[in-house]
Amino acid sequence: MKKVMCCLVLCVLTMSMVFAQGKTEEASSGVKQKKHVSIYTCNVEEEAIAYFKEFTKETGIAVDYVRLSAGECITRMEAEKANPQVSVMLGGSVDTIVSAYEKGLIEKYNSPNMSVVVDQYKDNMDGVYTPYSLVVTCFASNKKLLDKLGIPAPASWADLLQPALKGNVCMAHPATSGAAYTAFSSILQCFGEEKGFEYLKNLDKSIIQYTKAGAAPIRMAGLGETTVAVCYDLDAHTVINDGYGLVITYPSEGTGYEISCVELVKNGPADEQDAAKTFIDWMLSEKAQKMCTDDYYRYPINKNVPVNPQMIPFKDITLLDYDFLWSGKNKVRLLEVFENEVRTSANVLK
């Protein structure tokens, strides 16, 4: 498993794709603008490619991309800060992007299409990020393994601590995965920091593995390699749609959610700025939003696009009053505590 995961990581680190060769146009700044945009994305690759192909089809703008986990995207951007290699980051939660903005990695951009965003989510810190969908932290459990253990699907955070699930829970590492960081922050916000970290220390005993990517635990649950995955519901729906016998539940104490974002990289290639902004605008279009929910089980943020009927209505899930700004501003500090006091080396995927 470790060898396979390492190979996959090496592949995605080197992979990029060009869908078309672009022409150049003169921008108001005087810099020749290419009909081309380069992107880092932490979305599942199949989903990202679908957006890029449709965007190229509609606009004629070519796309280069590299797929990484959210944490790896930020690490790459930090390493390239003096000479950024991309113009856009697609994906990442508000707390992840707030943290990146404070590191000087994000350029503010206010899309004119923010007018179609549901009022509740229009506050984007004056352009730090552009919201394009919502996804919710859930549990996805393998039905056969639950039956073998003789327990029902977990319906609360407390349920994950039951003896039967020791070594039978998987989640990604919160330092490398945006999905895992949302789950991690949700626990701290649900119980408070002191009790939350005590809970995480107990949960660590149940964790079989902290993976790098947020979608990996749900695939493991589908394949029967773990009983319960702590993940985003869009990944769970996708795996269920692929024919795996999983059941989705949400913690009754309350769960967190991600406002998924697309953002402009600070000081990205000057000849891609027009194309980059066009892509960000396009992610709020009805076409892109319908793809988000109908094909990839995201809650759309465009008020004119209905939710996929296969999904549980957002209002029917017990949600925390999730504090994105607190989560983003305290990310480095909280992850240090996790590394030093919570996680054990035995269950971290090298």
239 and 337 together in one domain: yes
Q: How far apart are CA 60 and CA 158, in angstroms?
A: 51
Give residue 347's pLDDT band: very low, low, confident or very high (50, 70, 90). low
C-alpha 289/C-alpha 285 separation (Å) is 6
Check whether residue 99 and residue 23 sit in a common domain: yes
What does the radius of gyration of the chain's CA atoms come to, in whole angstroms? Answer: 20
Asked if 307 and 300 count as a contact pair (C-beta separation under 8 A), the reply is: yes
- The whole-number pLDDT of residue 124 equals 92
Would you say residue 312 lies in a domain? no
- What residue numbers bound the domain in which 224 lies? 135-257+317-347
Return the structure tokens found at 225.
Answer: 């390699």
Pick the more confident residue, 39 or 347. 39
Is 302's pLDDT higher than 70? Answer: yes
Give pLDDT, residue 87: 98
pLDDT for position 4: 38
CA dist., res. 236 & res. 310, Å (int):
12
Q: Give the pLDDT confidence of 237-262 residue by residue, as tens digits.
A: 999 999 999 999 999 999 999 999 99
Q: How many domains does the chain have?
A: 2
Q: Which residue has the higher pLDDT, 285 or 312?
A: 285
Q: Indicate whether 22 pLDDT > 50.
A: no
- DSSP 8-state assignment for residue 302: B
Residue 348 has pLDDT above 80, yes or no: no
Question: Tokens at residue 57, please?
Answer: 């089809």
Three-state SS at 278: helix
Specify whether 72 is located in the same domain as 103: yes
Q: pLDDT category, 223, cuts 50, 70, 90?
A: very high
Amino acid (1-letter code) at residue 36: H
Phi-psi label, residue 328: left if phi above 0, alpha if psi -120 to 50, beta otherwise: alpha
With cut-offs at 50, 70 and 90, classify the pLDDT of residue 134. very high
Are 249 and 275 in the same domain? no
The model's confidence at residue 21, banded by pLDDT at 50, 70 and 90, is very low
Q: What secondary structure, in 3-state letters, does 278-303 show?
A: HHHHHCCCHHHHHHHHHHCCCEECEC
Both 184 and 290 in one domain: the answer is no
**pLDDT digit string, tens, across residues 51-75:** 999 999 999 999 999 999 888 999 9
**90, 130 Cβ separation under 8 angstroms:** no
282 plus 220 within the same structural domain: no
Do 191 and 327 fall within a single domain? Answer: yes
User: Is residue 150 assigned to a domain?
Assistant: yes
Cβ-contact 133, 292 below 8 angstroms: yes
Residues 206, 325: one domain? yes
Q: What is the model's pLDDT at position 345?
A: 55
Are residues 192 and 116 both part of a single domain?
no
Burial of 309 by CB count in 10 Å (0-12 exposed, 13-18 middle, 19+ buried)?
Answer: exposed
Unique residue bearing structure tokens 């396009």: 282
pLDDT band (50, 70, 90) for residue 12: very low
Summarize the confidence of residues 1-27 as an average pLDDT.
Answer: 40
Mean pLDDT of 122-132: 95
CATH of the domain at 10: 3.40.190.10
Residues 89 and 151 in one domain: no
Same domain, 224 and 341: yes
Nearest to 269, CA basis, from 34, 70, 59? 34
Same domain, 206 and 276: no
What pLDDT, on a 0 to 100 scale, did the predictor assign at position 9?
A: 39
157 domain-assigned: yes
Q: Do the strands 207-211 and 169-172 form a parallel or antiparallel pair, or are they unpaired?
A: parallel
Residues 6 or more apart whose Cβ sits within 8 Å of residue 273: 27, 29, 31, 33, 87
Alpha carbon distance 92, 262 (integer Å)? 7
Query: Which residues contact residue 82 at a Cβ distance below 8 angstroms, ignoring those fewer than 6 apart?
Result: none
Task: Report the alpha-carbon distance of residue 313 to residue 115 in Å, rounded.
Answer: 23
Mean pLDDT over 321-347 rounds to: 87
Percent of the chain clearing pLDDT 70 (strictly above): 90
Position 20 scores a pLDDT of 34
* 276 belongs to a structural domain: yes
Give me the pLDDT at residue 201, please.
96
Look at residue 111 and tell me if it is in a domain: yes
- Which two structure tokens, joined as six digits, stand for 302? 């465009």
pLDDT in the model for residue 23: 38
* CB contact set of 59 (below 8 Å; sequence gap of 6+): 35, 278, 282
Q: Check pLDDT > 50 for residue 115.
A: yes
Q: Dihedral through CA 142, CA 147, CA 150, CA 155, nearest 10?
A: 40
pLDDT at 127 over 50: yes
The DSSP letter of residue 137 is: E
